[in-house]
Amino acid sequence: MSALDSFKEKIDGRSAVIGVLGMGYVGIPLAISMANAGFRVIGFDINKPHIEGLNNNKSSIKHIPDSDIKMMKSAGFYATDDFSKTAECEVLIICVPTPLDKTREPDLSFVTATMDMISPYLRRGQLLSLESTTWPGTTTQILLPYVERAALTVGEDFYLIYSPEREDPANADFSTRTIPKVVGGYTEACLEAGTVLYESFIDTIVPVSSTEASEMVKLLENIYRSVNIGLVNEMKVVADAMGLDIFEIIDAAKTKPFGFTAFYPGPGIGGHCIPIDPFYLTWKAREFGVHTRFIELAGEINAAMPQYVVDKTVRALNQAGKSLKGANVLALGIAYKRDVDDMRESPSAVVMELLQEWGANVAYSDSNVPVFPKMRKHQFDLSSVDLNPENIAGYDAVILLTDHTDFDYEMIRENAAILIDTRGKFRDDTSVVRA
Amino acid sequence: MSALDSFKEKIDGRSAVIGVLGMGYVGIPLAISMANAGFRVIGFDINKPHIEGLNNNKSSIKHIPDSDIKMMKSAGFYATDDFSKTAECEVLIICVPTPLDKTREPDLSFVTATMDMISPYLRRGQLLSLESTTWPGTTTQILLPYVERAALTVGEDFYLIYSPEREDPANADFSTRTIPKVVGGYTEACLEAGTVLYESFIDTIVPVSSTEASEMVKLLENIYRSVNIGLVNEMKVVADAMGLDIFEIIDAAKTKPFGFTAFYPGPGIGGHCIPIDPFYLTWKAREFGVHTRFIELAGEINAAMPQYVVDKTVRALNQAGKSLKGANVLALGIAYKRDVDDMRESPSAVVMELLQEWGANVAYSDSNVPVFPKMRKHQFDLSSVDLNPENIAGYDAVILLTDHTDFDYEMIRENAAILIDTRGKFRDDTSVVRA
C-alpha cells in the first residue's frame, strides 16, 4: 500500500490521531468538529492553566459551551503541553496566533516556536497543516525547511498543506462543518491527503493550485473586510460633516438587490483578523516591489476612529461647558464585537486609553467582560459597572462602543447626560451625538 | 380636495401624463415601465435623429427590443424636443447625464439646461423628480430655486423629489419594477407624492429622510463598487508580482459564505456610473473640509490599469524580439462590459489610444460595436474586424479587453501569436499573458 493510501485509510477508518497545536479561538472549535467526526484529538498548548481548564471540561470561549469540551473528552481528547505526544499523531494542525510586532511587521514567532517544539517528533506518514493566517510563501519558506531537516520527503512520506481557518466567532448561521475549506498542497499528493483529511469533517473542500494561493485567499478575504470598513468609516466622517446619518444611507443602499454589500462604521476595528492580517501582505509585497495602498489607507482610517470618537466626546462636553479632563466617562461595550467576550485588538481599549490620556475618569460596562483582562498593549484595573438609571446619570458622558444585545438602550438614553453613539442605535434622536 | 389628494387621484387613475426628460439608458426603460403600468408617457430629448428613431419604434439600446418602444407608442407615447409639452405633464422625471468636466469636477450642464427649458412651463400640481446621479444638495441647491422662481410653493402646490436610478444594463435578474426605489422628498408631502408615483409601477419603495440622503445613497452604492474594483485591481498587480493568479484567488475566496463579495479585475472601469459618480462626492466634500481618500485612490488605481495592460503587451512583444511600435495589435471587446453595446467611458478606448501612442497599428473586434462610435474623448476611424483563424494569426498581439460571450475563445487561443488576457478567461494556459 502506498503511503498516501495508508494515510487515507487511517483517516477513513478514524484511526488517525489528530494533534491540534494552539487551543484558542480556532483550535478549540476545530478540535470539537474533528472529535464530532469520530477522531481522537490531542490539544497542544503552552498555557498550563488553560490546559488544566480544558482537561476539567472548561471552555475558555463564551460561545462554546463546556458540554462540547466534555463531549471531546469522552471521545478521547486531552490537552497537554508535552509536545513529544505529537509523535502519536498522524495529523498536526497549527492554529497559533500570527500577530504583528511593534513596527507592524509579521510576527511568526508562535509558528516557529511550535515548529521548534514539534520538529524532533516529525515522522513519516504525517500530515502537517498550517491554518494560521500568514503571508503567501510561509508554508514553503518557513515550514518546509523544518520538514526537510527531519529528512522527510514532502509529497512522498510526509504531507504539507496550508488551509486557512475561516472561523467567525458567534456566527450562528455557520459552523466549522458548513464553512467551505480552502486547501493548498505543496505537491499533488499533499493536496490529496489534505482533501481527504478535511472532507472527513467539512462539507465542502475548495482545492487551489498551491499553498501560496491558499495563503493569499485568506488575506484577500480579510483585506476586503478591512478596506470596506475603512471606506464606510471615511464615508461616516463625510456624511457627518454634511449633516447626514451614515446608518440611514447604508440601510437604504443595501436595498439594492445586486452590487452592494453593507458594512457599518464603528469606533475602529478589532478581533485577531481584520486589523492584522492585511499587513502580512503589505510586508511581503514590499519584497516584490509592489505596494498595497488600499491596505495602508484602510489601516490609517480605521486606526483614526478611536480619536474621532474622543473628539466627538470633547465637543459634546464642551457644548455643556465641561472639559474632558476631570469628566466621568462610561464606555459601553468593550469586547471587539457584539455579544462576544473577545477583547483582542478591541478599539474600545484604545478609546478608553485616549480618554484617560485626555484626563477623563474612565469606567466601563460589559457583561461579557466582567473584569478588564490583561492585554499585551492595554492595562486597566477596572471591573464592569452595573447599568442602572442612577449609575448612568452619574457620568458626564456615556459612549456606546459595542452594541451588545443585552444593553437596555431605552434606559441608557433616558438617563445619560450626554450620549455618544458609534453604532447607530439611536438614529432618530437628535440629542444623541453621532460618532 | 387637497392638492396632494388630487395628485394621488391622477396617479391612481392613470390620468397623469408623465414626462421623461432625457431618453437614454435610464429614461427609456423608465418610460417603458410607466407605459406598462398604464401611463401615457412623453419622452423629451434634444437629439432629433434619436427622437425620430423612437417615434419610428427604434430602440437605441441593444438589450431593449424595438417591440418595447412599439408597445409604449400604442399606449400613447411619443418623443419630442418641444419642451412646452411639459406643461401637459403632471410628472416630470429628469434622467439626463451628469458627467465630469475636463478637470474631473461635476458637470451639471445637462440638468441646468433641462431646467432652463422646462422652467417656463412649470405649474401647480406637478411633481418634479431628479434621477440623475449627483452630489448631495443638488435638488435643493440647483432645482429648488427654479421652482421657487416660478412662484410655486414646494410641498404645497408642487412636489420636488430626488430618486436615484439604479439601472443595471443587461442585468437579466432585475428590471425597473423589481429594483427597490429610494425616494427622498423636499417636504413630507413631496415624499408622499413621490412614493405614490413610484409605487404605481415599482414593487418596493425605500423612503429616506431628505433629498440629500437619497442623493448620498446612490453615491455610496457606486463608491462601494469603484473602491472594490480598485482594490481588486491593486490585488491583481500584487498577486501577479508574486506569480499568483488573482482570478483563482477570488474564486476560492468567494466560497466563503459570509463577509466576502467577489469583484473582478480588468483593464480599467467603464460605464456612466462607476468612473464618474464617486467624484461628485469628492467635489462636494471639499466644501465641508473633508476628504474622500478611498475614492481618489480607487480612481488613481483604476485609471492606471490601461497602461498596465499596455506594459504587459510591451513586455510580451519584447520577449518575442518585437517592439510595440509597428506591431499589429487586435483589441477584443471594446464595449465597457460583457454583452452590451455601451461604449461610455470604456477603458478599451483608452487602451487602444495608448497602443496607438506607442506606435502600434490598432484594430478591434466587437460584434456589439460594428463601427467605432464618435466619443467625446476618443476618435478612431475603425470598424470591427471579423474573427477567424487567418485574421487572428495576422496580428502580433491580441488583447482580450471585454469578455463577450460570443467570442470563440478556443479559436482565439489557438491562433493568436501572443494572447494577453485581462479577464481571466484563459487561466490554465501559462502561454497566455495575464494583464
- In chain B, pLDDT over 90 holds for what percent of residues? 91
Are B256 and A178 within 8 A, CB to CB? no
**Closest chain B C-alpha to A183 CA, distance in angstroms:** 10
Give the chain B residue nearest A297 (alpha carbons): B294
Give the chain B residue nearest A284 (alpha carbons): B242
- Taking phi over 0 as left and psi of -120 to 50 as alpha, with beta for the rest, A345 belongs to left
Closest CA relative to residue A212, chosen from A135, A133, A294: A135
- How far are the Cα atoms of B54, B334, B368, B382, B385 from residue B371, in angstroms, in the given order? 21, 11, 9, 6, 10
Best residue in B235, B281, B337 for a mutation probing chain A (most A CBs within 10 Å): B235
Are B285 and A213 within 8 A, CB to CB? no
Are B285 and A224 within 8 A, CB to CB? no
Give the chain A residue nearest B175 (alpha carbons): A257
B341-387 pLDDT, tens digit each: 999 999 999 999 999 999 999 999 999 999 999 988 889 999 999 99
For A21-34, give the DSSP string.
E--STTHHHHHHHH
Query: In this complex, which of B178, B257, B261 lies closest to A174 when CB atoms are compared?
Result: B257
Query: In this complex, which of A173, A227, A248 lies closest to B258 when CB atoms are compared?
Result: A173
Indicate if the pLDDT at residue B139 is higher than 80.
yes
Are B248 and A209 within 8 A, CB to CB? yes
pLDDT score, position A83: 98
In chain A, which residues have their Cβ closer than 8 Å to the Cβ of B216?
239, 242, 244, 249
Query: In this complex, which of B217, B241, B250 lies closest to A289 when CB atoms are compared?
Result: B241
Are A249 and B216 within 8 A, CB to CB? yes
Are B292 and A223 within 8 A, CB to CB? no
pLDDT score, position B272: 83
**Closest chain A C-alpha to B256 CA, distance in angstroms:** 6
A371-427 pLDDT, tens digit each: 999 988 889 999 999 999 999 999 999 999 999 999 999 999 999 999 999 999 999
Residue A95 among the catalytic residues: no
CA atoms of A231 and A295, how far apart (whole Å)? 11
pLDDT score, position B164: 98
Mean pLDDT, residues A67-86 = 96
A191-206 pLDDT, tens digit each: 999 999 999 999 999 9
pLDDT score, position A221: 97
Is-contact A124 A158, C-beta < 8 A?
A: yes
pLDDT score, position A294: 97
In chain B, which residues have their Cβ closer than 8 Å to the Cβ of A260?
221, 224-225
Instruction: Return the active site residues of B.
Output: 273
In chain B, which residues have their Cβ closer than 8 Å to the Cβ of A217?
249, 252-253
pLDDT score, position A172: 84
Bridge partners (DSSP) listed for residue A128:
A92, A160
ipTM: 0.94
B239-284 pLDDT, tens digit each: 999 999 999 999 999 999 999 999 999 999 988 888 999 999 999 9
A246-289 pLDDT, tens digit each: 999 999 999 999 999 999 999 999 888 888 999 999 999 999 99
Mean pLDDT, residues B51-66 = 92
Give the chain B residue nearest A255 (alpha carbons): B180
Q: Can you give the C-alpha Rg of chain A in angstroms? A: 24
In chain A, which residues have their Cβ closer than 8 Å to the Cβ of B203?
none
Query: In this complex, which of A212, A214, A250 lies closest to B220 when CB atoms are compared?
Result: A250
**Closest chain B C-alpha to A241 CA, distance in angstroms:** 6
Indicate if the pLDDT at residue A223 is higher than 80.
yes
CA atoms of B291 and B404, how far apart (whole Å)? 37
- Tell me the average pLDDT of chain A: 96
Bridge partners (DSSP) listed for residue A400:
A332, A421
Query: In this complex, which of B256, B257, B297 lies closest to A294 when CB atoms are compared?
Result: B297
Query: In this complex, which of A180, A243, A259 lies closest to B255 when CB atoms are compared?
Result: A180
**Closest chain B C-alpha to A305 CA, distance in angstroms:** 15
Domains of chain A: 3-209 (3.40.50.720), 236-434 (3.40.50.720)
Are B241 and A290 within 8 A, CB to CB? yes
CA atoms of B283 and B275, how far apart (whole Å)? 14
Indicate if the pLDDT at residue B428 is higher than 90.
no
Indicate if the pLDDT at residue A97 is higher than 90.
yes
**A:B CB pairs within 8 Å:** 180
Give the chain A residue nearest B172 (alpha carbons): A258
Mean pLDDT, residues B400-423 = 98
Indicate if the pLDDT at residue A170 is higher than 90.
no
Give the chain B residue nearest A238 (alpha carbons): B290
Give the chain A residue nearest B223 (alpha carbons): A231
Query: pTM (2 decimals)?
Result: 0.95
Mean pLDDT, residues B389-405 = 97
In chain A, which residues have their Cβ closer than 8 Å to the Cβ of B214?
252
Query: In this complex, which of B178, B180, B259 lies closest to A225 when CB atoms are compared?
Result: B259
Are A241 and B289 within 8 A, CB to CB? yes
In chain A, which residues have their Cβ closer than 8 Å to the Cβ of B284?
242
pLDDT score, position A375: 87
